Amino acid sequence: MAAGQPFTILHTNDWQSRLLGFGPNTEYTPETINDDDTIGGVARLSAYIDQLRDQNKEQPVLLLDGGDISQGTLFHTLYREQAFELRLMKMLGYDALTLGNHEFDFRTDGLSRMLASASRYMDELPPIITSNLELAPAQKHLEEQGVIQRWKIIEKNGIRFGLFGLIGKGADEVTPSAKPSTFSDQIKTARRMVKLLREEQKADVVILMSHSGVVKNDDGSWGGEEVEYARQVTGIDAIVGGHSHTALFEPIMVNGVPIVQAGSEIRYLGELSLTLNENRKVTVNSYTLHAIDDQTAGNKAVSAKIDRFKDLVSREALADSGYSFDQTLVKTPATLSRALDDQALGNLVADGIRQATDSDIAMTSNGVLRDDIIMGGNGYQAVADIFRLQPLGMGIVDDKPGYPLLKVWLTGREVRDLLEVLSFAWTAKSEDYYPRFSGVRFTYNTLRPPLDRIINIELGSYDTGFAPLNINDNSRLYSLGTSSYVGSFAWVIEELSYGLITIVPKDEQGNPLADLSKALVDRNPDIEGVQEYKNWQAQLDFFARLPDTDGDGIADITLNKQTTAPRMIAIASLSPVAMLRNATGIIWTVTGFLFILLAIMLRGIYRIYRRMS
């Protein structure tokens, strides 16, 4: 064992296919410095890694990643065929990475295909280490051939580094496409791996690469799965985290174990300096989270490779869409964000879905809104920028990237019930459930009991006008457009409403739909079969068709009442109208209970008064 030696861990996590910079892609200039405001990009990351390796060349340097290398940009559309992300990680010299939930978005078979594609472009893949992944029988060969490993020993300068990886429970919950592969218990696996690495493999240093995440508590302390690993598992020396996209500017120290995480999408590179002491203890010397920005000139060879990747995406993934990667699509007058109080972006995306599905109402949610529209210097947005708004998923009847759009019909009562659940679920679950609507405007009273809060509902828009929804007219059905991912929650509304509400999606004739494939929007009915209309394609079409208001030949986003006004309006009022208008049995039951309780209290007070008098 080498002792008393310093070593360095460089780390990233959650690349999410963000190979170019943060900001409008048209303004990203990685080969020059001090001429744009974009941040990130693999070319800059590569140069920064080389710089830090050179600064620490007298000691061992490990480069590790905490998972989710894919999904989120146009590059991931060729994830299975080209494996851009893994090929670049090999080029940058990663010593190891773990898998994240997004590596399974194209199902376990998609992961297999990506790894096979990567093998065609390189002699040896970067080590992929995930210790609690129980592969499906059809993918067992990945472990048998050592493509995916449960642990690894890397020896540098006489130090034996023992590496293992975990996908956390939270990441597992959002990875249904991994089935029939499963993930075993994280704490039990970690204890088993530490014992193996320490006792059998004689590791001097044990490092966990975790795709699990951390959470900041209300009192300012840190919690989350990665904190629990350090609390409950003895023998881990450092945790390189991921999944929660947390930019930690100093390590979270738990039982002497540093937990680090570098945000997401290559905005930062973490540098953790440690020493292996004579007593086999590892101590932290320093930690820096380096910003990857326009202060660093990018690696030219990496930039050239990414340019070739862009051409491949235009030729192979965008050929049927009529668009190209760098094509300027629309101009924005301001940055539009996913913040809950910023209505414009969510409104526009929902409008795009309603236009594509030709529906009365459309909806999406914040959880599937994956990026902001960043104005940058001139506001011009390329196809690649708009694609990032709703990029995830894959087909139902095809296996092409992107959630397909669907269209179902509901009664007026079911529309109301759906809005009741959605206006409440995000407060009980998370902000990912925060809904965004088009074609509808409604007001709800937060002082009323959940699932009976809506005061009024109107259909329409500021452009065309609004009309009240008649929830008691069962003779008419209303069409609802959404993505297959968001639409799938219609089948679990009963669960989300704790059994109080059930919604039955129907076809145009009112027949119940048993599965999503019967509700898919056909982009080209003239061709045999269903040509899925992808959510990302709908966004490109919508923004490209906006009016060119300044005559420069490029569509323009206009920020007016139609774009910026809230469509889900919350009030807090005790007025009789606000408390009882359109009330259902829920509020009458609660009201009756309160009156009974009040009567009992008054009667008790009266009896006390009689005794005292």
> The CATH number of the domain where 250 resides is what?
3.60.21.10
Q: What is the pLDDT of residue 133?
A: 97
Domain extent at residue 591: 583-612
Q: Does residue 306 sit within a domain?
A: no
Q: What is the pLDDT of residue 582?
A: 87
Tell me how far apart the alpha carbons of residues 568 and 455 are, in angstroms, rounded to a whole number.
Answer: 11
Indicate whether 295 pLDDT > 90. Answer: yes
Q: What is the pLDDT of residue 488?
A: 80
Q: What is the pLDDT of residue 587?
A: 65
Indicate whether 3 pLDDT > 60. Answer: no
* Residue type for position 32: T
Question: Domain boundary residue among 252, 271, 291?
Answer: 291
Q: What is the mean pLDDT of the chain?
A: 93
- 370 and 249, same domain (yes or no): no
CB 382 within 8 A of CB 325: yes
For 119-163, how does the pLDDT look when each residue is reduced to its tens digit (9 = 90+)?
A: 999 999 999 999 999 999 999 999 999 999 999 999 999 999 999
CB 468 within 8 A of CB 456: yes
Q: What is the pLDDT of residue 1?
A: 45
Indicate whether 352 pLDDT > 60. Answer: yes
What domain count does the chain have?
3
CB 382 within 8 A of CB 323: no
Indicate whether 181 pLDDT > 90. Answer: yes
Tell me how far apart the alpha carbons of residues 312 and 319 are, in angstroms, rounded to a whole number.
Answer: 10
Q: What is the pLDDT of residue 501?
A: 83
Q: What is the pLDDT of residue 598?
A: 59
> In this predicted structure, which of 178-192, 295-309, 419-433, 481-495 has the lowest mean pLDDT?
481-495
- 486 and 360, same domain (yes or no): yes
- 287 and 333, same domain (yes or no): no
CB 368 within 8 A of CB 485: yes
- 326 and 270, same domain (yes or no): no
Burial class (CB in 10 A: 0-12, 13-18, 19+), 341: exposed
Q: Does residue 302 sit within a domain?
A: no
For 77-122, how does the pLDDT look when each residue is reduced to its tens digit (9 = 90+)?
A: 999 999 999 999 999 999 999 999 999 999 999 999 999 999 999 9
Q: Does residue 304 sit within a domain?
A: no
Q: Does residue 310 sit within a domain?
A: no
- 189 and 164, same domain (yes or no): yes
- 342 and 235, same domain (yes or no): no
Q: Encode burial over 556-594: b for 16+ CB neighbours within 10 A, e otherwise.
A: bbeeeeebeeebbeeeeeeeeebeeeebbebbeeeeeee
Q: What is the pLDDT of residue 498?
A: 73
Share of the chain above pLDDT 90, in %: 85
Q: Does residue 303 sit within a domain?
A: no
- 89 and 174, same domain (yes or no): yes
Indicate whether 495 pLDDT > 80. Answer: no
Q: Does residue 411 sit within a domain?
A: yes
- 606 and 548, same domain (yes or no): no
Q: Which residue(s) pair with 39 in the sheet? A: 22
For 257-266, how does the pLDDT look when each residue is reduced to its tens digit (9 = 90+)?
A: 999 999 999 9
- 96 and 239, same domain (yes or no): yes
For 48-83, how does the pLDDT look when each residue is reduced to its tens digit (9 = 90+)?
A: 999 999 999 999 999 999 999 999 999 999 999 999
Indicate whether 199 pLDDT > 50. Answer: yes
For 379-389, how does the pLDDT look when each residue is reduced to its tens digit (9 = 90+)?
A: 999 999 999 99
Q: What is the pLDDT of residue 178?
A: 92
For 532-548, how does the pLDDT look when each residue is reduced to its tens digit (9 = 90+)?
A: 999 999 999 999 999 99
- 331 and 266, same domain (yes or no): no
CB 408 within 8 A of CB 487: yes
- 511 and 399, same domain (yes or no): yes
Residue given tokens 């939930």 in the structure block: 101
